[in-house]
Amino acid sequence: MSDFPKQARVVIIGGGVIGTSTLYHLGKRGWSDCVLLEKNELTAGSTWHAAGNVPTFSTSWGIMNIQRYSTELYARLGEEVDYPMSYHQSGSIRLAHTKERVQEFQRAMSMGRYQGIEMEMWSPEEARARYPFLETHDLEGVLYDPSDGDIDPAQLTQALAKGARDMGGRILRFTPATGVTQQADDSWVVHTEKGDIACDYVVNAAGYYAQRVGEWFKRYGGRSVPMMVMSHQYLLTEEIPEIEAWTKDNGGAKLPLLRDVDISYYLRQEKHGYNLGPYEPNCKGHWMTEDDQMPEDFSFQLWSDDLDRIEDIVTDAMERVPLMATSGISRVINGPIPYAPDGLPLIGPMPGVKNAFENCVFTFGIAQGGGAGKVLAEWIVDGAPEWDMWAVDPRRYTDYTDQDYCNQKGMEVYGNEYAMHFPHHEWPAARDKKLSPVHDKVIALGGVMGAYNGWERANWFAQPGDDTSLEATHTWGRFGPWEQRVREECEAVRDGCGVLDLPGFSRFMVQGEGAAEALRGLVTGGLPKVGRINLVYIADDRGRILTEMSCMRLGEDQFVMITAATAQWHDRDILTGAMPAGVTVEDVTTTRDTLIVTGPKARDLLAGLTDADLTTGWLTHQAATVAGQAAYLIRVSFAGELGWEVHAVNENMPAIYDAILNAGARPFGMYALDSLRLEKGYRTWKGDLSTDYSLLEGGLERFVKLDKPQDFPGKAAIQAEKQQGVQKCFVTLLVDAGDADAPYMSCIWSGDEIVGETTSGGWGHRVNASIALGMVRAELSAPGTELQVEIYGEKRCAVVQEDQPLWDPENERLRA
């Protein structure tokens, strides 16, 4: 093959809608010398049998962004690339059977409004007027999304492919990739049956083959791709005269796409019949057992019908739209759909592997394909996407996602596809993957657990008789069985001493000649002196907040970098990528545990247990023994009280924990810690701290040293922004919140105008008020400014506070 490409800038493995969108968007960014490899024909995987729905609805800010972009792209794509497409923006209606579902709709509608999607809430009667075949007697409300609709997946893929080819991209069909080899300079060679292609970057866009492709990267630092494959059925009815008549009477329009999310199905007009797609609780995964192995090639294939699984949902749909019962079934589609453990795709850098990316495991690939191509092209070309995309970053998962975990979670997500994600609800499948050395003791004390990067931590501590059922958590409100206990835990920290077991803190030993200088060239501010600890921030090239770490200095070139549990693989890649030869980065996360011991009586309590010098000041650290066990004490407290973090190797921690409890400390959980940190204005990573905001917007200028000689990432951007002035400012708000506190990304209003968004919120038990942290236009950030925060559809009065902690503003208790 004389025209076979030997060299490319990027090689994309997989020729579905995701792969072609990636190639198309790389072309749009000017990268024309890119190649896509497809083992069969384009669309041969999940794309060809996809139903083609294109919603914008989501309660994830990042997912809504990529879905919104997809609808905008698809509306213009056919004309842009001169390829005809069947794209119907018929609008959709979502049915709410309960008040809680209406609140979820109100939240999504608010987020959509901020992104320019004008959703509407309808009464059941208004919905019936627009959808005359609908039964509405038992509904609380209906959400209408005018931008929702459906598209032909094959036409979409071919249009993206044509656009990519027109910009110089190469598509090689019937050319399966067979492996990869990484070169000494971290570039790649992708092997095929027709020859090798050398490239700078490689993308795994292999759909339900993604895990198989991912195995090739293991020897270069990779891991098994966290995914499984579900069997999803949808059925097509025969044509129905009433639908044909309605379409004719309405100028050829289609009925709005209907989703009965509390029953778990969508119902869409397909020509003059219906397409019904259920997500049944008694679902079925495939290729999960020894006797059901994934075939080498499943191109353009389906499984046999299995209608017994969906019978109840079909019956309910016929009761909701009786017209459906007048027609027979013409065809059933039962095909494979990949699922990640949280149902969201993997878009971004491949964990642990340089110059490799993932754009795979899409459950809703047609809806998200346009945005996914845009995001990944930006990641490759610019080093970062326009929007913070942590929700889909492959590094959000770490080593706990074994295949058992993926299988259990995939089944759980599919069976609860339209479930509401209440703030206090913990999903029960595939738990106890990572346990602290005192886990059994925490459970015995009444710990009601949550999973944090696979680690089990107590959210709150129940007393005998407290309701710890999952059903009790099905509320958007503040009040539940936990509320009184969390208040008591906060008061114990305020008045006495509390102890929180915190397994999973990500810890990295960074040491070797040149470590200090390398870190100075990475972080925006200064490093602590030996024996001290301080916060450091890392920016991206745009000056935006990439991550936050606690930097503990043990020696001139010896550091411990401590960061959030969920940031483990994200921050590992940042550190390893920035260190020169001779400096090692060792991940010691799993070998150690941490206790937070905090409150005004913490010093008195610890004095009887340790040989440490408890008179040393805030932000210091020391080796010591606690309860006769070797440990490390750090004088910090995320709770904002006098306190220490006690770090110890796992085998030493049970004796230390028992001694601290026996000395009178009260155990407290993550809900209390979140309340306590809000009162201090302490930020959380990927909530208040994200790449959607610059360090200056985030109020972090005191952690930036523009006068230091090192040219750290983002320095030029921060200098330019400082000269021009920030557009947004970080603020603390006190909110007249009613029964529910502000969730992430609630709209902040000034009059009739959206002027910002919350980044976190909750109740402060020491200040006895609802608190929201957020971003607002700079001119509205002055203390005393009166604004409104939209909480589940209600606008609640809010007031901007002074730029200082609400609790102990002078930090006198912290430094005591």
Please write the tens of the pLDDT for every residue from 232-252. 999 999 999 999 999 999 999
| Average pLDDT estimate for 205-210 | 97
393 forms beta bridges with none
pLDDT by residue (tens digit) across 364-392?
A: 999 999 999 999 999 999 999 999 999 99
| Average pLDDT estimate for 88-103 | 97
**Token output for 173:** 């069909």
| Average pLDDT estimate for 301-317 | 94
- The pLDDT of residue 486 is 98
Q: Does residue 155 carry a pLDDT above 90?
A: yes
pLDDT by residue (tens digit) across 327-364?
A: 999 999 999 999 999 999 999 999 999 999 999 999 99
pLDDT by residue (tens digit) across 534-567?
A: 999 999 999 999 999 999 999 999 999 999 999 9
Q: How far apart are CA 647 and CA 623, in angstroms?
A: 9
**Could you tell me the pLDDT band of residue 514, with boundaries at 50, 70 and 90?**
very high
The continuous run of DSSP H or E covering 106 comes out as helix 99-114
CB contact set of 556 (below 8 Å; sequence gap of 6+): 516, 530
**Could you tell me the pLDDT band of residue 174, with boundaries at 50, 70 and 90?**
very high
Q: How far apart are CA 638 and CA 667, in angstroms?
A: 15
Distances (CA, A) of 741 to 110, 292, 695, 760: 15, 47, 26, 9
Q: Does residue 96 carry a pLDDT above 80?
A: yes
- The pLDDT of residue 2 is 62
- The pLDDT of residue 674 is 98
In this structure, the strands spanning 533-539 and 545-555 are antiparallel
| Average pLDDT estimate for 703-715 | 98
In this structure, the strands spanning 265-270 and 273-278 are antiparallel
Q: How far apart are CA 607 and CA 614, in angstroms?
A: 7
Which residue's structure tokens are 């150690």? 592
- The pLDDT of residue 377 is 98
Q: How far apart are CA 762 and CA 789, in angstroms?
A: 13
Q: How far apart are CA 165 and CA 239, in angstroms?
A: 38
Q: How far apart are CA 212 and CA 294, in angstroms?
A: 10
Q: How far apart are CA 302 and CA 332, in angstroms?
A: 10
Q: How far apart are CA 554 and CA 551, in angstroms?
A: 10
Q: Does residue 1 carry a pLDDT above 80?
A: no
**Could you tell me the pLDDT band of residue 266, with boundaries at 50, 70 and 90?**
very high
Which residue's structure tokens are 């190797």? 649
| Average pLDDT estimate for 46-65 | 95
- Of 458, 453, 485, 480, nearest to 469 by C-alpha is 480
- The pLDDT of residue 453 is 96
For the chain, helix, strand, coil in percent to 5 are 30, 30, 40
pLDDT by residue (tens digit) across 419-461?
A: 999 999 999 999 999 999 999 999 999 999 999 999 999 999 9
- Tell me what the pLDDT averaged over the chain comes to: 97
pLDDT by residue (tens digit) across 738-766?
A: 999 999 999 999 999 999 999 999 999 99
- Amino acid at site 539: A
Q: Does residue 98 carry a pLDDT above 60?
A: yes
